[in-house]
Chains A and B, each alone.
Chain A
């Protein structure tokens, strides 16, 4: 008879999560040094979907680069294209008609709801509940249909233009958006009843994976991750852009710092986005949707420009260093999940592997957006 199989008491082993793993929602690899089911140390390995968007930004004109922005985060692409057009408009001094900015705000918020809905479904599925994903996708489908009708794409939108929009919204879109708001409000109540109070769900999240506000600051975490740690930070309020100052909405903040707090922030944010959409549709002014005075080829004055916007995942920043040419001399994309994911390695030390996977879900990762 052979010797029994056993580890020495002090022995650890290396566990590979990914690159292909359902919990990573994309090709991400995490090397974990494990002591039984506990994580001793973790190291994230990135770059599996790296496409060097920043080099493409140097080789293309500003307008040609526009479609690239929606290939970063395929769940909330409009926010990213919004950042790019705002950066160019800021640097080139292009005035955008009010109607265009209102439509931008409405569509960005619709996209934010769609992104949060998909996250909600996938997150609950990570924790073992399959049916909420089906409900969430059904609601999200209404948004995608609406956006498809005006933008021509379901996910990789290229709808905004420097100085305005590609085309105006029609009455069908406005009607559909108006119908969608009460429907979504009803769904949010349903989700709350279905998921939030569930005992298994809460046991997996409550008090698990605390991320302190100080850790957020050192890593530059933004968006729902920071707001779940008691930080009242949202670019839409802190550095108002577009027509957001015109809207009456709140920033949900939770102080528990755990995975459940991050969940609650996103669920509350959907209601706030609905409020913005509702007010936007009500106030939507008539007028042109494209600036009349706009140079045919965009050339920015020599200098260094920065624009931050609040996307579904946090603060997205774009830096354009211009040498006066029609291409950028250097174009830097600051993606929010890159910073949010970075704190994972430090925060998950000493955690159970299953808790760490739930924690990863609560960070709302979109890998192409980390790798760029």
Chain B
């Protein structure tokens, strides 16, 4: 039930495009909402959005009373891109896990911060900044969290050399 309404609400961000089916997409895939097989993937909805659609997509989930699970990044060095992945889930028994992802250019990784919507995104964004150097515009306190306070390196980058 919540799955369909959330899917429709997220699909509304991509006015005019056709909803994609659950088939494994080519990488890098086009933006849009996919339904995933929960049994193999562990989540139900998978939405790839543009960085400037991010706040709208997260607001949809906030209004539907999702809670934030985590935020993380992936360094796609071959495609010269970085990916930021947001996980959301629900407290009720209408199980619905939603993944929001966005791809940004590797040389200038920047996405808007969602701390104004979810206060709990604060540490997750700081951690992702630590590990990947992704900038979260509008974050109140983007300094190293897990790394030393003077750290200027990003250990999860694929070209990181210790």
Residues in chain A within 8 A of chain B (CB atoms): 46-47, 50, 52, 54-55, 58, 87, 90-91, 93, 216-221, 226, 231-233, 237-239, 302-308, 315, 317, 319, 321, 329-330, 332, 334, 338-339, 342-343, 346, 371-372
Contact = CB atoms under 8 A, between A and B. Distances in A.
17 contacts: A58-B156, A218-B68, A218-B120, A219-B120, A303-B41, A304-B41, A304-B85, A306-B41, A306-B43, A306-B87, A306-B97, A306-B99, A308-B89, A315-B69, A317-B69, A319-B85, A334-B70
A329 to B, nearest CB: 7
B42 interface: yes
A101 to B, nearest CB: 16
Contact of A319 (B65, B72, B120): B72
A219 B85 contact: no
Main secondary structure of the interface of A (DSSP, over half): mixed
Interface string B80-93: 00000101011111
Interface of B is mostly: loop
Contacts of A221: 67
B65 A219 contact: no
A221 B123 CA distance: 13
Contacts, number: 112
Contacts of B87: 306, 317, 319, 334
Contacts of B131: 54
Nearest to A239: B95
Nearest to B151: A47
Nearest to B93: A238
Nearest to A86: B42
B155 interface: yes
Q: Sorted from nearest, which 6 A-B pairs have the closest CB atoms?
A: A219-B120, A306-B42, A334-B70, A47-B146, A233-B91, A220-B68
A147 to B, nearest CB: 28
B70 A220 contact: yes
B137 interface: no
A238 B120 contact: no
Given A46-B145, A220-B120, A319-B72, 10 more contacts: A218-B67, A218-B118, A304-B46, A305-B41, A305-B42, A329-B74, A330-B74, A330-B156, A332-B85, A342-B120
Contacts of B41: 303-306
B91 A217 contact: yes
Contacts of B56: none
B39 interface: yes
Contacts of A91: 40
B123 A338 contact: yes
B66 to A, nearest CB: 8
